[in-house]
Amino acid sequence: MAVSSFMLCGFTLLACCAVASAVCPPSPPDGHPRVMLRPADIARIRARFHSPLMADVKAELLREATLSADGRLPDGRPAGVWVSDGRRVCMAAKAFLYLIEGDETMGRQAVDMILDYVASIDASYEDDGYHVSAAMHASILAAAMVYDWCYPLLSDEQKQELIRQIERVSGAAEYGWPPPEGVGFLTGHYSEIKPVCMLAAGIAVYDEEPEIYHLMADHLWNGFAPARNFFYPGGKHHQGSAYGFSRFQSEVMSSFLVSRMGMPNPCLPDQARVPYWFVYARCPDGLTLVEGDDYHRSAGPGWRADGGAWLMLAGMEGDAYVQDLALRSRSSSVPAALRALARDETLEAKALEELPLTRYFGSPFGQMIARTGWELDGGQDAPVAVAMFHVKEWIFGNHDHLDAGHFSLYYKGSLTMDSGIYEGPDGGYGSEHFLNYYQRSVAHNTLLVLDPDEPTPKWWGRSLESRDGGQFWPSSRAEYQSIDDLIALGPRAEILAHEFGPDPIVPDYSYLAGDLARGYQAPAPYPPKVSEVGRSFVFLNLHDDRRPAALVVFDRITSRKPEFRKSWLLHSINEPAVEGPTTTLTLTEDGYNGKLVNHTLLPSASNCEIVKVGGPGREFWVDGRNYPFRPRARGNSEPGAWRIEISPRVPAKTDLFLDVMEVMDSVGGPGSLAPELIETHDLVGARIADRVVLFGRSKRRLTGSLGFSVPGVAGELRILVTGLSSGRWQVGGPVSLDLRATEDGGTLYFRGPVGDYRLTFVE
């Protein structure tokens, strides 16, 4: 039986349930199996297992069942999280064959193997580190499957021995057992594999030892689920392209365990929207646009080994697009037994290429990813532009970055991106590169406002070395234990507008705007150094094979003092070429052939200074020092080595920045265009090719009567005006139109020739 601390956990749960805001989780159903299926599911799973549509899964499972007959670990250290340890997948396959086919020989082999396996684990988090600890938790999941699926074959003594070993192994792994008070439910390692594996164990052994389930269910219903139900509606994960994926897998598994017991999923259905971020952020070269802490990766046509989580979600929610994602993805990261249970072979996949080319990821994020096409497996020479840009309403900490207002732009290579990398002793968590450069605003395509006297940020209470003029953590702590801790600090940016269209599938424009000012505020007592940091993005699909896209970025910054230096950043892998107000970035190595040309229209040429920073010994330069790292290997997700900083020469409290970026082939591509600045008392913007983009000069949405002139040669133009009050507007001039601006977007979009226009707000 469990130690007395488990009884204490049970009493704590009961006390918690007496609090109005807490939830009393339901108890597991009677009988076995109940880990990922119920007795009534067996006939259906058996039919699925023998379906021709599942032949590949069946063949793999039968192969896995022959991998080993000996469960004992020679060195006492399990390997891999899900599949790398052949003994674990073998046990799962044998237990599945007993459960579904009634093969008692296989079942008894699974029981003998798991008893030997867990008894032979002689490792600990303290001695062997995080990765072995994660494998120890995966071993507990294997024990839960065998315990539950082979329950009739276990003697009372074997049940008690398995429970004892589960508690022992969990106690030696990270966070121990039972876990201490104050574990984090929002970020951190505790949000990874331990809770899901111990939840599975708690479900399996509930009849003999209910307190394991009570504790894990309390953490799920009253800790993890409320946090995820805060950010899932935004349709993405707050921990970025690497950790967001790995942690999301465990979250999905927890939901799968609960739903397969016949209980309502404590996480909102919005959980099923999170995979779409990984679809939209995938570039034709096979890599994902980087967000947050991420590593070196190699480009190629393959998909990530994430098929298991996607299969579970597709089956739970009946999502045909996620089913397509699951079937494209490699499933080798999970045992075939789990794939056999998760995959709904009757769900017909819908091609991801049918999705709209732009997707908005709303509060608490405020991000857009816009594309000119799909070609998800098109390779490095596919003529598809992909842009990611965000307001970042909330900062979540841990593997999240201080990158509100950042944008990335891909065309035949990562032309501008996150700088730095999360790797090695000099670049990993808590390193000097990580603290003073990589997670800071200076490493991103955002804005800096440097007060020479501003404090250095703090991380876990430790004052850092560099002042970059960027954003600050909401507190001196870089991680939060609960969603309540985060909410108490409030949002760090304001989403002002978002819209794409007019065609919802193939938009001409994708627009996002926000005010980032609060993110630049240091903790008290330091006074705010800015009152406004407005940033607006418009991505234009130019429908031109030679010049597929342009990204227009408009910024409005008001600082407390005119002398605070304001800088507009653009990062690149190779050295930029700067000629007057024009900056050119190219990438022609490793089979890539992309070029980005940035035209700085504001500050004006007479008031604009463009400084190059980078090169050997200055790749990650900030506040007079380089913060390098030693890469383990060269990969395609380059950490960058250069940036430009655009600043006004004349100090002023308020400064405007307007930059127009176009992409094209580097070798054999066309010449760059010459965007033209358009300015009035109320509006500022540019014409590029056959497009006109105009922004309101102030944060306040415009009303009344607005005039502007469109220069250039004759021809039909597509005109986008942003920053408008919602309601009915009349367009006068070369065309006469009656249009309506929405509350979300505040835009008008219409076609017309060059000439003088007047917009009049009606109601």
Q: Is the preceding peptide bond at 527 cis, omega within 30 degrees of 0?
A: no
Q: How far apart are CA 206 and CA 191, in angstroms?
A: 23
Q: Which amino acid is at 105?
A: T
Compute how many other C-beta atoms are within 10 angstroms of the C-beta atom of residue 523: 14
User: Under 8 Å CB-to-CB from 126, ≥6 apart: which residues?
Assistant: none
The C-alpha torsion from 598 through 601 and 602 to 608, rounded to 10°, is: 70
Tell me which residue of 291, 290, 472 sits closest to 395, measured CA to CA: 472
The dihedrals phi and psi of 269, each to the nearest 5 degrees, come to -55, -20
Conformational region of residue 420, where left means phi above 0, alpha means psi within -120 to 50, and beta covers everything else: left
What tokens were used for 470? Answer: 């960027």
In the DSSP assignment, the letter for residue 182 is T
Q: Report helix, strand and coil shares of the chain as percent, to nearest 5.
A: 30, 25, 45
User: Under 8 Å CB-to-CB from 262, ≥6 apart: which residues?
Assistant: 29, 38
Q: How far apart are CA 759 and CA 129, in angstroms?
A: 64
Exposed, middle or buried: residue 634 (CB in 10 Å: 0-12, 13-18, 19+)?
A: exposed
Where do we find the tokens 């970055």? 401
Task: Give the start-end residues of each E strand in 302-384.
Answer: 358-361, 367-371
In the DSSP assignment, the letter for residue 24 is -
Of 399, 401, 498, 599, the catalytic one is 399
Exposed, middle or buried: residue 452 (CB in 10 Å: 0-12, 13-18, 19+)?
A: exposed
Of 243, 321, 438, 511, the catalytic one is 243
Interior/surface letters 336-358, b for 16+ CB within 10 angstroms, e for the rest: bbbbbbbbebebebeebeebbbb
For residue 444, indicate whether it is catalytic: no
Strand 654-665, strand 594-602: pairing? antiparallel
What number of H helices and E strands is found in the chain?
17, 30
Tell me which residue of 68, 65, 71 sits closest to 100, measured CA to CA: 65
For residue 399, indicate whether it is catalytic: yes
For residue 189, indicate whether it is catalytic: yes
What tokens were used for 422? Answer: 């999360």
Terminal alpha carbon distance of the chain? 72
Three-state secondary-structure class, residue 383:
coil
> CA separation (Å) from 725 to 99, 497, 733, 737?
63, 11, 20, 17
Angle between helices 55-64 and 42-49 (to 10 degrees): 100
* Residues known to be catalytic: 189, 243, 399
